[in-house]
Amino acid sequence: MFSRMLYGGDYNPNQWGKEVWKEDMRIFRDARINSATVNVFSWSKIQPAEDVYDFSELDEIVDMLSAEGYDIVLATATGAMPAWMVTRYPETARVDFEGRRHRFGGRHNACPHSPVFQKYAARLAEKLAERYGSNPHIACWHISNEYGGECYCPECEQQFRLWLRRKYKTLDALNDAWNMEFWGHLVYSWDEIVVPNALGDAIGREKTAFAGLSIDYRRFMSDSILENFKMERDAIRRYDKTTPITTNLMGTYKGLDYFKWAKEMDIVSWDNYPAYNTPWSYTAMRHDLMRGLKDAPFMLMEQTPSQQNWQPFNSLKRPGQMRAQSWQTVAHGANTIQFFQLRRSRGACEKFHGAVIAHVGTEDTRVFREVAQLGRELEAMGDTLLDAKNPAKVGIIFDWDNYWALEYTSGPNVELKYVDQIHRYYKYFYERNIPVDMIPVDADFSKYSMVVAPVLYMVKDGMAEALEKFVSDGGTLVTTFMSGIVGQSDNVHLGGYPGPLRRLCGIWAEEIDALAPEQSNAVKFADGGEHKCGLLCDLVHLEGAESLGSYAADFYAGYPAVTRNAFGKGAAYYVATQLEADGLAVVMDRASGEAGIKPVIDEPTKLEVTRRSGKNGDFYFVMNLGGEEQPLPSRFAGKTDILTGKTAPSVLKTWDTVIIKG
Ligand code: GLA
Ligand code: ZN
């Protein structure tokens, strides 16, 4: 896809005078910047009026970058609508959750079903492709920007009804799917269906009276916005058949079903903005998810070289931190490192957002020196890593339908959050340097020895059978409380939890207790060890499974809390409560031991060690992502750090990173 690692980021020379451009080029050369993402928010510049297009400035920018030999990431500029469009065609703006039609302002807020928006967005993408598509320096197309949000306008409502007609065919089927007998919500005409915002069936922002309806609206919105992406993509393809096309995703962003999106994208790209206190395991999980979307290397489209402006506390990246964070990103499968942005804005809400060139305007800054160091390292890496994969024998299921459904439930516990539950299991593997793939529910499980499916709340048709096959063929499955509860429309699988997973898990759960944050129980394991648990406690009966640990307290003391069911050649583990990390480790050590799961290196270490493997060999990324200094694992002693060309140090201080060819 690319011939080298792209290094650069969002670049907005149009916000500056031309005298600055030349200076930029000189400074970027010094940092080995070889790529720029341009035209992200330039719609109002290149189409100043409905019938006027003016590409003269963009021509100059593209010419300048081409002359410098850049790999240009060319955006289609449709992420922010021009004022003339929203003013003349108010229906291009969205109607929000409260039912208010927005006016001109903001960004990422076009109604996906507005025919005017669609017409002009597609036309712009086509014109850009016609004009620049044959320029060999265009390395990638970047459609719109950070798609997201939702619209509740009358046009979207009408389109939703059509979407539902295609899905359900009859109103009987729809009434049944959404369980509309509840509260007497039966509808007798498609026109009676109302979008689920604050004026309809929503309960606050987070909950809903009819999850079947609200989940369908999320599916519909994700599909609708995806149609906008496809429309621009197809417009580009009329003139440019080959250049990869992407749009920048946002990790675990809730609103869009990224597994579905990735099928339409040539390469996944994403924007990584951890907060000052985001655990590194959480960032690693999001990288793995982005890699998992296409099971392929991805682009890091944005990160800040120093600080952000939109978090509550925008701390600086400490010296060395940006470098370590960037290599962690590459370690998990990125083939590009791109910043938002290359020159810091002089006005508007992002003037406090870090950039490669700060307000001082020179290269004489700490941040620039660190950017330049990383630039030299990436340049030296050449194409070495571009084909390298991250082989893993563990798959953790991530599923947007489950994300939506689980968090729409009213009860049993308001603290139950989907990504948090996934992260608890991811973290177990992360801390042991065990590689993980984040996989969709319809993945090919046979590639894995172990599949982990935390809170697999919604089990759609065929999923239980696929998991049964995986286990009976010898796989190890770990699933948890709040699994197997509902089908695709959020109606309960009757006959006892965990519904279609009951046979596989060899248990049934009669009741689910919810614990407040200040409450806890404990799980007593066979070896006598006791470990704290909370959030939810299933009251489980064994039906063939063995109990590995039981509750220590309350009226269900002695009930199984962790079970294992031998099934065919494999086994299914059921974790009936939320265990804290030490207790979870007891279960996971056993399950992963049984599955023969191995860390990337045999030695235990507090360093992150991540491996990419490709035609040029195995590369071990060894990183100290904070905390105390740590000894280099003995396996790497005396080996060369390919970043410095010198022998790797025997001790890694905070932010130290070495890459060793294994
Ligand atoms: C997002 C956007 C950028 C910019 C950055 C700031 O990722 O895509 O345009 O606003 O955030 O962090
Ligand atoms: Zn709309």
Q: What is the pLDDT of residue 59?
A: 98
**In angstroms, rounded to a whole number, what is the distance separating the alpha carbons of residues 487 and 213?**
13
Residue 318 and residue 453 share a domain? no
CB of 108 sitting under 6 A from ligand 1: no
Is there a contact between 572 and 471 (Cβ–Cβ < 8 Å)? Answer: yes
Residue 477 and residue 578 share a domain? yes
Residue 647 and residue 515 share a domain? no
234 occurs within a structural domain: no
178 occurs within a structural domain: no
196 occurs within a structural domain: no
Instruction: Point out the domain boundary residue: 381, 407, 429.
Output: 381
CA of 17 from ligand 1 middle (Å) equals 22
235 occurs within a structural domain: no
Residue to mutate, 340, 351, 352, ligand 1, most ligand atoms under 8 Å from C-beta: 340
CB of 12 sitting under 6 A from ligand 1: no
63 occurs within a structural domain: yes
Q: Which residues surround ligand 2, an ion (CB under 5 A)?
A: 111, 151, 153, 156
Residue 415 and residue 345 share a domain? no
Residue 566 and residue 436 share a domain? yes
**In angstroms, rounded to a whole number, what is the distance separating the alpha carbons of residues 630 and 183?**
60
Domain that holds residue 317: 6-79+109-149+242-381
- Measuring from atom 2 of ligand 1, which residue has the nearest CA? 146
Q: How many domains does the chain have?
A: 3
Q: What is the DSSP letter of 466?
A: H
CA of 454 from ligand 1 middle (Å) equals 31
222 occurs within a structural domain: no
Residue 618 and residue 526 share a domain? no
Residue 461 and residue 544 share a domain? yes
Q: What is the pLDDT of residue 627?
A: 86
**In angstroms, rounded to a whole number, what is the distance separating the alpha carbons of residues 252 and 502?**
29
Q: What does pTM read for this prediction? A: 0.98
230 occurs within a structural domain: no
Q: What are phi and psi of 404, to 5 degrees?
A: -65, -50
Residue 129 and residue 246 share a domain? yes
Q: What is the pLDDT of residue 451?
A: 99
Q: What is the pLDDT of residue 375?
A: 98
Closest among 422, 408, 162, 197 to 288, alpha carbons compared: 422
**What CATH number does residue 38 fall under?**
3.20.20.80
Residue 180 φ/ψ region, left for φ over 0, alpha for ψ in the -120 to 50 degree band, beta for the rest: alpha
Tally Cβ neighbours within 10 Å of residue 75: 25
**What CATH number does residue 529 fall under?**
3.40.50.880
Tell me which residues of the chain have a pLDDT lower than 50.
none
Burial 261-298 (b: 16+ CB within 10 A, else e): bbeebbbbbbbbebeeeeebbbbbbbbbbbbbbbbbbb
**Nearest ligand, measured from the Cα of 225:** 2
Residue 438 and residue 301 share a domain? no
CB of 78 sitting under 6 A from ligand 1: no
CA of 94 from ligand 2 middle (Å) equals 5
In whole angstroms, what separates CA 272 from the centre of its chain?
A: 9
Q: What is the pLDDT of residue 626?
A: 87
628 three-state secondary structure = coil
67 occurs within a structural domain: yes
Residue 261 and residue 142 share a domain? yes
How far the first Cα of the chain sits from its last, in Å, is 25
Residue 328 and residue 265 share a domain? yes
Q: What is the pLDDT of residue 374?
A: 98
**In angstroms, rounded to a whole number, what is the distance separating the alpha carbons of residues 34 and 29?**
8
How many helices and strands (H and E) does the chain possess? 17, 29
| 394-397 vs 530-542, strand pairing mode | unpaired
Residue 289 and residue 413 share a domain? no
Instruction: Point out the domain boundary residue: 381, 410, 439.
Output: 381
